Structure formats: C-alpha cells, structure tokens
Amino acid sequence: MKPHENRQNVPHKSTKSTKSTKPQGRNGAHGGRGSVRIISGEWRGRRLQVPDIDGLRPTLDRLRETLFNWLMFEIEGKRCLDVFAGSGALGLEALSRRARSVTLIEKNPRAITTIKAFLHEVEDTHAKILEGDALRILARPPSEPFDVVFLDPPFHQDLLEKAVQTLEKNGWLAERAWIYLEHEPALSLDSLPSHWRHYRQIQNAGKRMLLLRREPPLRQEPPSAEQEAL
C-alpha cells in the first residue's frame, strides 16, 4: 500500500450497486450475523457483510455514528489503525470518511476474507490488512505511528490491557493520537497510561465506549545559567 498524502484527489472507483441482497442483522448486525452499514462518506449506505463467527460483535450502527461524530474533524487525511478488526466496520468507516490510510489487524481467516471482498468491491487501495495475532504484530514497531487507533478486542480474554501497553511502548501512537476503546463495563482501566486523557464515553449494560487523547507530558527544558545561579 502506498500512502496518499492528498487523498481527496484520488476518489474511490466503483460502479457497483450499493444495495445488498443478504439479510440485514437486527440493529445493523448483532452477535456476528447479517451486515453493518457504512454510515457516511464515499461508501455511505453500503453494506459490509458480517461472518457468523463466535464472539464477533461489530459495533452497532448507531454507536459507530456517535463515535464518528466525536471524531468528525479527526479522520480525514489521517493514518488509522483498527486492532482486532473483526468485521472491519470501524476501519472501513474511517476509510469511507477519507482517512489517508487504514491498517486492519485480524487473525480470523473468514473475517479477513470478508474485509478483502469489500475492499475488492469498492476497488480501494488505501487499506492494508495485517493477518495474524494482534499482540504479536504490535510487538514490532510500525514504519510510521498512527493518528487514530480503534481498539475493540474480544471480551473476557484479557487482551485490552496488553494491547494498550504494547501500543504505547512500541511506537504505534502519534504524539497526540486519538484512541478508541470498547470493552465490557466491569473491566478496570486503572492501568491506562497517565497521559491518556478521557474525552468522551458511553456505557450501557453490555459495553463501554471510551475515547481518549494521548497528551504526552511537557518536556522539561534544562535550567538556564541564570536559573542555576539563583
């Protein structure tokens, strides 16, 4: 994948219908069945099929719409990373909204096939799929840090904290990156890096959505000669 600094000059090419003949899951796919809808952007209204995979629970349409309203001015022209991509709904929504590029990390072959099929259909070249275990992939530093990161791991598998620490440690995050977390409500987040600032959140009985901003502490300038003399 070649990065496109001026992506607005490279429109998506597709002459195919935006309609899907497959059944839509309740509330825009729930429990890993049906399809989810691209909310806005170049692919608005297109359906992304969701394979029937145990534990796959794509973010509902209305919650994705809320998230991307939060990030309304933070996606276009930015490098985005979708960790534990699953259906790819978060990363592909960002791509539809003119992200410079999107990298999706996923290990399930069926999920990968579905994402690739969608990208082939819309003839997009701004996405890259890293196939394999997310924590192993994150253990290696990236070629360039990311501006927006979506982190929505399978619940109850002790993955979120490990992914958070690995992202921070290995240089995956731009200096003022946005980080979106989706997790089970009972999960404690006491170990988040201290310079990740809470921006917005939603919580219900089934999940918690949290948007954070990375704000590294100000660098301490060495004292001047005059200050040392005091």
Tell me: the pLDDT tens digits for 116-164?
Answer: 999 999 999 899 999 999 999 999 999 999 999 999 998 888 898 999 9
Q: What is the pLDDT of residue 17?
A: 38
Does the pLDDT at position 69 exceed 60? yes
Q: What is the pLDDT of residue 228?
A: 58
Whole-angstrom distance between the N-terminal and C-terminal Cα of the chain?
56
pLDDT, tens digit (0-9, with 9 covering 90-100), for 17-56 = 333 333 333 233 433 358 889 999 999 999 998 887 876 7
- Whether pTM > 0.85 for this model: the answer is no
Average pLDDT over residues 66-70: 94
**In this structure, how many other beta carbons lie within 10 angstroms of the beta carbon of residue 223?**
10
> Which residues are paired to 159 by β-bridges?
none
Beta strand 35-37 with 101-106 is unpaired
* Domains along the chain with CATH numbers: 57-216 (3.40.50.150)
Does the pLDDT at position 166 exceed 90? yes
